[in-house]
Amino acid sequence: MRFSIGCAAALALCATFSGWAGIARADNDKGPEQVVIQAALDAEKVAKPAYLPHQAHQWLECDGCHHGKGPGGKMADYVPGQKIEKCETCHNSKAGMPQMIATLKRASHLLCMECHLKQDKELARCGVCHTKK
């Protein structure tokens, strides 16, 4: 919704965006089967890559995790086929995000951990995501 408002305000940009996204990815591209998430900009001394079985999470809609940045730095809803950037592109300490999502670690813990905790406490153990797979 918020994204469409942005489009109306910037039609030219929007047309460019859609055309380019259509070339970049087919709508049925579900992304990689597995993903390793690793901070590059705000990495802590002891790196802790996190493992995400990506396709096994797709009972959740893409927009359950993916989104963009709209006018005024607000969250823009996911649009099928959009270019998917690394979370850290926006969630890094230089990007001026609210504290609780100002780094990759914080944004990830908020998204991943909240849901895992709700499902089953066992799923929130550090080793569930921070494992070498």
Q: Which residues bind ligand HEC (CB under 6 A)?
A: 29-32, 35, 37-39, 43-44, 47-54, 56-58, 60, 62, 64-69, 73-75, 84-91, 97-98, 101, 104-105, 107-113, 115-116, 119, 123-124, 126, 128-130
CB 11, min distance to ligand HEC, A: 20
Instruction: Kindly state the smallest distance separating residue 63's Cβ from ligand HEC, in Å.
Output: 8
Task: Give CA separation, 119 vs 5, 54, 73, 101, 116, in Å.
Answer: 35, 17, 31, 22, 5
Pick 8 or 60: Cβ nearer ligand HEC: 60
Q: Minimum CB separation from ligand HEC for residue 15, in Å?
A: 19
Q: Measure the CA–CA gap between 88 and 85, rounded to whole angstroms.
A: 8
Which among 65, 69, 62 is positioned nearest to 97, based on CA atoms?
Answer: 69
CA dist 80 and 63 (Å) reads 9
The residue type of 131 is: T
Which residue of the chain is nearest ligand HEC when measured via CB? 31
In whole angstroms, the minimum distance from the beta carbon of 117 to ligand HEC comes to 9
Integer Cα distance of 114 and 79 in angstroms? 24
